[in-house]
């Protein structure tokens, strides 16, 4: 393609904003339209990001033949129906995490996307974060030997939008919302040929009992076909802003990543410092602001990758196949949470 990749942003909320921040540093594209069911939000988002065509008419937007890539940045309950519609129209598409509310919905999305024969990308930021990519490169070099154990933590003080508390709309609580990052990080570190074969999970609502029927804290253990283990720590009750950490322990060494608690700047202010970091609970006192947040989290890396794949016709390194695998693991995790047993993952 010699012309810019033309993008439609489906969604005008929190994650759509992060995608726009990521795209800000990507050459060779233009976001030509954005969608929201709420007209006010659609036009406000378009104004903020200088998008020429905001709309509330999803059907008409999908019918257009001048758009090269649709980015699904919608609430979880909308992923499957919108994705299937895009596939029926044979559109290139990228979907935010988690791919769907459960394994069954993810399977429908994957089947439709395969049938369409068009690009489908799973927008899992964690495996595009620069420190995580570097960790994988170190593993591939053989520097830490064989991967034996991965520990990942994803936590904050709770969702930013009210609909996240409704597990009928989202598919689950903290496990569903946050473990998708940790699962894919573990799959990335081990190598996707090394499958997750069995899981054990615990979850409980320890704090937000008045807001949700879903778990606000969870643990998930993953057994890999190689015999390796990974465990994921998830929380909606952690104060101090988003906490993103990974440990990879191998037979010859270890790697540690810390995106949000090990930032290169710290400050003490007696007044508001403004925006500090995602999910920050306070903006004064001792804070650790995160520079280039969209870059550090992987939003820029994934958006650049997907734009380049549209341009070249290549298949993304994260596709709906990966989103489906994560959904299968999450389903097994919830089954384990109910039964208090190790559960085999059925793909």
Residues 211 and 339 in one domain: yes
Provide the pLDDT for residue 1: 63
| 12: in domain | yes
| 137: in domain | yes
What percent of the chain is modeled with pLDDT above 90? 87
Model confidence pLDDT, tens digit, residues 47-61: 999 999 999 999 999
| 116: in domain | yes
Provide the pLDDT for residue 135: 97
Residues 34 and 105 in one domain: yes
**254-274 burial, b for 16+ CB within 10 Å, e for fewer?**
ebebebbeebeeeeeeeeebe
Model confidence pLDDT, tens digit, residues 275-327: 888 888 888 888 888 888 899 999 999 999 999 999 999 999 999 999 999 99
Parent domain of 310: 5-125+299-318
223, 101 contact by CB (below 8 A): no
Alpha carbon distance 309, 307 (integer Å): 5
196 sits in which H/E element? strand 196-204
Determine the average pLDDT of the residues in 264-273: 87
Residue 2 has pLDDT above 80, yes or no: no
Residues 131 and 260 in one domain: yes
Residues 14 and 101 in one domain: yes
| 323: in domain | no
Can you give the CATH number for the domain in which 191 is found? 3.30.360.10
Residues 153 and 283 in one domain: yes
233: nearest Cα among 222, 241, 225? 222
Alpha carbon distance 39, 256 (integer Å): 44
| 72: in domain | yes
How many domains does the chain fold into? Answer: 2
| 201: in domain | yes
Provide the pLDDT for residue 278: 80
Residues 230 and 261 in one domain: yes
| 177: in domain | yes
Residues 101 and 228 in one domain: no
238-247, 256-265, 324-333: range with lowest mean pLDDT: 256-265
Can you give the CATH number for the domain in which 313 is found? 3.40.50.720
Residues 132 and 120 in one domain: no
Residues 235 and 107 in one domain: no
At residue 140 the predicted structure's pLDDT band, cuts being 50, 70 and 90, is: very high
Helical H segments across 195-319, by residue range: 293-297, 299-312
316: nearest Cα among 296, 302, 300? 302
Residues 50 and 81 in one domain: yes
Count of Cβ atoms closer than 10 Å to residue 285 Cβ: 10
Phi/psi for 100 (5° steps) reads -155, 180
Phi/psi for 247 (5° steps) reads -125, 135
Residues 224 and 263 in one domain: yes
Residue 171 has pLDDT above 80, yes or no: yes
Provide the pLDDT for residue 161: 85
96, 73 contact by CB (below 8 A): yes
Residues 140 and 284 in one domain: yes
Three-state secondary structure readout of 2-63? CCCEEEEEECCCHHHHHHHHHHCCCCCEEEEEEECCCHHHHHHHHHHHCCCEEECCHHHHHH
208, 200 contact by CB (below 8 A): no
Provide the pLDDT for residue 25: 86
Q: What are the distances in angstroms from CA 242 to CA 37, 112, 280?
A: 29, 35, 7
Model confidence pLDDT, tens digit, residues 76-91: 999 999 999 999 999 9
3-12, 146-155, 278-287, 298-307: range with lowest mean pLDDT: 278-287
Rounded CA Rg of the chain: 20
| 164: in domain | yes
């Amino acid at each position: 393609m010699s012309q810019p990749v033309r993008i439609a942003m489906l969604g005008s909320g929190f994650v759509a904003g992060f995608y726009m921040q990521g795209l800000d540093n990507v050459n060779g594209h233009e976001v030509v339209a954005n969608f929201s069911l709420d007209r006010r939000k659609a036009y406000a988002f378009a104004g903020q990001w200088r998008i020429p065509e905001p709309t509330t008419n999803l059907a008409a937007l999908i019918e257009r033949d001048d758009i090269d890539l649709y980015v699904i940045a919608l609430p979880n309950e909308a992923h499957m129906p919108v994705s299937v519609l895009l596939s029926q129209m044979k559109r290139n598409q990228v979907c935010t995490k988690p791919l769907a509310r459960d394994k069954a919905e993810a399977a429908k999305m994957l089947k439709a996307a395969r049938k369409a024969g068009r690009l489908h990308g799973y927008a899992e930021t964690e495996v595009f974060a620069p420190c995580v990519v570097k960790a994988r490169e170190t593993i591939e070099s053989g520097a830490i030997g064989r991967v034996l154990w991965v520990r990942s933590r994803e936590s904050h003080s709770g969702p930013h939008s009210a609909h996240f508390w409704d597990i009928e709309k989202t598919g689950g609580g903290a496990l569903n919302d946050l473990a998708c990052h940790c699962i894919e990080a573990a799959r990335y570190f081990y190598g996707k040929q090394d499958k997750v074969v069995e899981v054990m999970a615990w979850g409980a609502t320890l704090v937000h009992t008045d807001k949700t029927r879903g778990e606000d804290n969870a643990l998930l253990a993953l057994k890999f076909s190689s015999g390796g283990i990974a465990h994921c720590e998830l929380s909606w009750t952690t104060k101090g802003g988003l906490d993103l950490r990974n440990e990879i322990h191998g037979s010859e060494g270890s790697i540690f990543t810390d995106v949000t608690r090990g930032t290169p700047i710290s400050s003490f202010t007696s007044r508001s410092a403004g925006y500090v970091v995602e999910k920050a609970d306070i903006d004064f006192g001792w804070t650790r602001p995160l520079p280039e947040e969209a870059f550090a989290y992987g939003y820029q890396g994934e958006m650049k990758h997907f734009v380049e794949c549209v341009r070249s016709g290549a298949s993304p390194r994260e596709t709906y196949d990966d989103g489906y695998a994560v959904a299968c693991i999450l389903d097994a995790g919830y089954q384990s949470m109910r039964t208090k047993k190790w559960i085999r993952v059925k793909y």
